[in-house]
Amino acid sequence: MSAAPPTAKERDAGGDQFAPVCSAARKLWRLASGLPPAIWDGLLAALLFMAVLGPSRQEGPQGLLIQAALLLPLVWRRRAPFMVFCVITAVAFAQWLIGVQLPADVALLVALYTVAAHADWRRLLPAGVVMAVAVLMAAARWAPPGRVLASVAAMSAMAVAAAVLGNNMRTKRAYVASLKERAVNLQHANAQEARLAAAEERARIAREMHDIVTHNLSVIVALADAAVYTRRGGSDETVMSRISETGRQALTDMRRSLGVLQADEPDAQRHPVPGIAQLEALAQHMRAAALPTRLTLEGDPTAVSTAAQLTVYRLVQEALTNTLKHSPRGTQAQVRVVCAAQTVTVDVTDDGITTQPLVSPSGHGIAGMRARATAYGGSLTAGPLPTGGWRVFARLNLDPTEDGAA
């Protein structure tokens, strides 16, 4: 009766018995991997010396001396591959002159392999020629009668194998180095792209927050001022409701803009981003804040993308907010938006005596509007009118490539 196969528990128990051995082997390998190459080369030379020590002893002190001279240069084989090959070749030539045949001549193959693995073709080619001459000389002197060609073929095959293995190792090392370099470059490029994307996103959110907060706070301040004047007559209920409505709208807009930072934020989905259709509501807010605003829309806004409509809305919002902040009471504003096949123009003017700065000290304002227009390959001009008042004119390019880039 055959024995039952071991259960999974028994296999796991058997594997646990070898776990300490495997762990010790891994630690030993990590420790050995950290050793300098010179130590490994010294160990190689020592092992070869002990492996061929027996035949050298038969030649007496002369054989031991030649063996040491052949194997000792291997300690420096990776630091000076071609020089070590020349030294070993010179010792082998002296050995050939003396007529002592030793198995330590394997050092020539190791040296040739090292030249192929760590040097270029300008070093490997003369080393191969020297090795071919050495093979012919060794076969001519030490090959048995009638076996010269066989000896040449055998030693040539070993020399070619050493050179090919070394060259393959050099190619593999160069390939791995190129892969590591490409990985590092790709990592740096990805990190740079991530930093640029984060900077662009921060700038976009900063512009959105500036437009939302500045506009709504300006309206709230204007409504609060109006409430002070109307409180004596007891008719401030409408103004107060406008203040409450504007505050709630500010919170909604802020949640919408910050909703992109949270994957589980539903508010941004419930409230779509404002566009050209919401300009009338924006004009009503301005009228409630004591800024009479007339809105004129021309063309079909449905052909304008959502992102471009948001830009148009923010441009009008910022321009009217600046008029509300910097113009005296009684100022009237006019907004004209024209939607054409390839462009959208925004023209906002007022008739007040403005104190608007050409460059906002905070870095937003007009500079932010110009950045929005430039993102669509357009332009923006802002400045006082010759007849008094202030004008903001922007042109957005609706070319598909520009729109996609924006």
CATH number of the domain residue 356 falls in:
3.30.565.10
Is 350 part of a structural domain of the chain? yes
Q: 299 and 159 in one domain?
A: no
Is 80 part of a structural domain of the chain? yes
Q: What is the value of pTM for the model shown?
A: 0.46
Q: 171 and 35 in one domain?
A: yes
The pLDDT profile of the chain, 406 residues, written as one tens digit per residue, is 455 555 655 555 555 556 676 676 676 666 656 667 778 778 888 888 888 777 766 767 788 888 888 888 888 888 889 999 999 999 989 888 888 888 888 889 999 999 998 888 888 899 989 999 988 988 888 888 888 888 889 989 999 998 899 889 888 988 888 898 899 888 888 888 888 888 777 777 777 776 666 666 666 766 666 665 565 555 555 666 666 666 666 666 665 655 545 444 444 445 567 889 999 988 988 888 888 999 999 998 888 888 889 899 989 988 998 888 888 888 899 999 999 888 999 999 998 876 665 554 444 578 888 888 888 889 999 989 888 889 999 999 987 544 444 4
Is 402 part of a structural domain of the chain? yes
Is 51 part of a structural domain of the chain? yes
Domain boundary residue among 189, 210, 229?
189
Q: 330 and 184 in one domain?
A: no
Domain that holds residue 369: 290-406
Domain boundary residue among 189, 209, 244?
189
Longest dimension (CA), the chain: 133
Amino acid at 249: Q
CA distances from 320 to 132, 349, 391, 392 (A): 90, 9, 10, 10
Domain boundary residue among 189, 211, 238?
189
Q: 169 and 45 in one domain?
A: yes
Task: Kindly give the interhelix angle for 148-230 and 121-142, rounded to the nearest 10 degrees.
Answer: 160
Neighbouring CB atoms inside 10 A of 17's CB total 8
Is 251 part of a structural domain of the chain? no
The domain total for the chain is 2
